[in-house]
Amino acid sequence: MFHDKSIKYTKVIGVAGNQVTNDIRESLGIVTEEAEKLKKEYGYALEEAIIKDEDIYIKGVGARGNIKIPVSLLTQIIHVRMKELFTLIDNELRQAGFKSKIKAGIVLTGGGSLLRGITELSEEVFGQPTRIGVPLELGAGLSNEIESPEFATVAGLIRGVPGTTSSQAMFNFKDKTAIGKLGINKFFKKVQEFFDEL
């Protein structure tokens, strides 16, 4: 929770997009890569958000041939896990005494926030307006590559905390082209190394 540009409360809950992928894998009897692809290409968090309930053809594993499922079945699998996550967060906020203090609403980040219908599900569970958090104004060297909710956390760390002056706590990105030269994978490795040293 943020208030006046400061973090007031944090909590880690061990439910994330990889559990959704695993649920799809187990429910449909497919490999992880195929489950992840289905989630990204056809994933909805809420049945009401489905525009067209088309059939999806999935590669069978081993001797099984290809199978066909409706988007609504995939959505039901995803919905259960995402609703569980939001309910856990909502309960945590209530127990910590912060639920009534939320005034500006909910901001979703991470890869799971790319699921269609996720803001509607969030609003249904939390009873609060919800938006997707997208990192913006990162400079020419970064914006095209990581302007996505998947990278919102690391982008926020790159920009630093307002008012921070410690050189150890902030990265120096005066030369934005240096990131382009490094390559995005090497760049994120450098970020990871920085936090491993803390």
Integer angstrom CA distances of residue 165 from 124, 139, 161, 168, 176: 40, 20, 9, 9, 20
Residue 88 · residue 14 · CB < 8 Å: no
pLDDT given for residue 117 in this prediction: 96
**DSSP state string for 174-189:** S-THHHHHH-HHHHHH
pLDDT given for residue 176 in this prediction: 46
Q: Residues in the chain with pLDDT < 50?
A: 165-178, 198
Which tokens is 121 given? 């599900």
pLDDT given for residue 170 in this prediction: 44
Parts of the chain belonging to CATH 3.30.420.40 = 1-102
Backbone phi and psi for residue 190, each to the nearest 5 degrees, phi listed first: -60, -40
pLDDT given for residue 167 in this prediction: 47
pLDDT in tens, 93-131: 999 998 988 888 999 988 888 899 999 999 999 999 999
Selected from 3.40.50.10490, 1.10.760.10, 3.30.420.40, 3.40.50.1580, the CATH number assigned to the domain covering 1-102 reads: 3.30.420.40
pTM above 0.95, yes or no: no
Integer angstrom CA distances of residue 114 from 16, 36, 41, 139, 145: 13, 13, 10, 23, 16
Distance between CA atoms of 144 and 59, rounded to whole angstroms? 33
Integer angstrom CA distances of residue 131 from 16, 134, 173: 18, 9, 28
pLDDT given for residue 137 in this prediction: 61
Nearest Cα to 64, choosing from 91, 38, 34? Answer: 34
Name the β-bridge partners of 70. Answer: 55
